[in-house]
Every structure is written in C-alpha cells, then in structure tokens.
A and B are shown apart, each in its own frame.
Chain A
Amino acid sequence: MSSTLLQQIAFYVLAAVAVASALGVVLFRNAVYCMLSLIVNLLSLALFFLTLNAIFVATIQVLIYAGAVMVLFLFVVTMLSPETGAPEEGRDRLRWQWAAGIGLGVILAGGLIIAFLSGAISSDAKAAGLDGLAQQASAHGNTEAFGLALFHGFAFPFEVTSVLLVIAVLGAVVLGRRMLGRE
C-alpha cells in the first residue's frame, strides 16, 4: 500500500520535472540553458522508464541520449555560441508566430488528452494478449529479455539500424569535408 503511494508521489514529481524542463527548452533565450534543460528532461524520462520496470532501456537512455547525443549537441551549441547566445527575438520576422504556435499547441494538447481520456486507446491496448518474452523478463531479468527480443523478433530492423548509422556517419563526413574545402 505504501509502495503504491510512493510510486504515485514519484510519478507526480517526475511529471512535474519533465514538463517544467520541457517548458524550459522552449522558453529559455540562451541556447545553452535550453540544452541543460533538455538534459534534465532526458534524465527525468530515464527515471520514468525505471518506474516502468525497464532498467536496461533507462540505462541506454542515460548513456546514449543524455550522454553521447547531448555532448554532441553541447559541442555545436557552444561552437556557435556568439550567434546563438544572443537573444534572437529582436529580428523576428513573424511577430504573430508565438500566438499562433501556442494556440495550435493548446489545440493539439487538448485533442490528445481528450482522445486518451475517452478511453478509446487504452481499451484497444487491453484487448491485446500476453507476450512470452515478458514472462522471460520477469524470470531471467531485464537485459536478457531485451537481447532475446532484439535478436529474435527484431533482428532485421537491428541490421537496418547499422546501415542507417553508417549512412549518418558518411553524411556527416561529407558535409564536414565540403565545409573545410571552402575555407
């Protein structure tokens, strides 16, 4: 009983941190503050994954997303900081875009929340059956279930992922080389 209460408290605290840091990403003027706010957001999502019993995914969220990807981001943000550090709003061409964007955002949030609360989505979810791998996850552990699922059901998408990563690396190299050649 007390553990469910603890879970509820953890959920609400995490939800508040996640939404506040997400608002920080959009509202901070300085891109470095946006970046740090995004890291807080990613870490709170990793904690959400922990509350959903996905230990391995929470780990890779911290290692890859909050670690590697965000370091890359921070490199570029600080590299371009003379431009991005300054307030950008002075030379906005479309003054009405804040009002329009926030209006559309409220409509989107309202639509999504009404869709969720009307129960159409969660009743669809309830209709599906059990998965054998989930039982393995409870029997053998989290990471083993992840690996089994990845290399049995999802082996082909996993291989395609490696092709995608090679293409991304080649693309970055080509863009970087052209950039150096021009100077």
Chain B
Amino acid sequence: MPLNAYLIVSALLFTIGATGVLVRRNPLVMFMSIELMLNAVNLSFMAFARELNSVDGWMFVFLVLTVAAAEVVVGLAIIVSIFRTRRTVNVDELNTLKG
C-alpha cells in the first residue's frame, strides 16, 4: 500500500483522538484518547520507516511506547488521587488546583 494510505488512516485516528479529548469529560476516556493520538503517530512513524527503508522510525515508536507507559502510570496515579480526595472524576468539576 502507498505511504499516503497509511498517513490518511493515521490522520483519521489522530483526529478522533483529539476530538475525544475535546468532547469527553471523563479523564479516563480523555487519557484513552491521548493514547489513540500517540498510536496514530506511531502508525505514521512505521509507515515512514518502511517508505524510507530505515529503522529509525522503529526506534521512535519504541521511545513513544516508553513515554506513553510512563505517562499512563503517573496520570492514572493522579486520577486515583483526585478520586480519593474529591469523590468525582468529572473534569468539569475539577476547577481548582488545590486538593
């Protein structure tokens, strides 16, 4: 398949993820949408890696995977911590930085 086909799928996935962050009010689902965006970028990295016949794209996917894992760990810890103190996870109700 040509490069453009992969890039268009990647663009669609990225857009769906970005829209999800904008419209959903549940921080867990917003996190999942961020994962969607990261994975869309991974897909375009892999498509470019094949197109350029280079493995550098694989390295970037590997690093993005690591960063995503670290981000999920810290983000979920923050969400659980917010839930324990405020008893809610609706981001519309979380309008202060104080606990």
Contact = CB atoms under 8 A, between A and B. Distances in A.
B32 A134 contact: no
Contacts, number: 241
A31 B66 contact: no
Interface string A111-130: 01100110001100110101
What class of interface size applies to chain A in its complex with B? Answer: 35 or more
A92 B42 CA distance: 32
Interface string B27-54: 0110111011001001100111111111
Given A76-B28, A125-B51, A183 B5 contact: no
Contact of B65 (A22, A65, A126): A65
Nearest to A76: B76
B69 A69 contact: yes
Interface residues of B, number: 75
A177 to B, nearest CB: 10
B29 A150 contact: no
B73 interface: yes
Contacts of B58: 54, 56-57, 146, 149
Given A72-B76, A121-B7, A105 B22 contact: yes
A157 B42 CA distance: 17
B73 A168 contact: yes
B63 A161 contact: yes
Given A25-B16, A128-B54, A171-B74, 5 more contacts: A34-B28, A34-B29, A83-B89, A105-B18, A150-B62
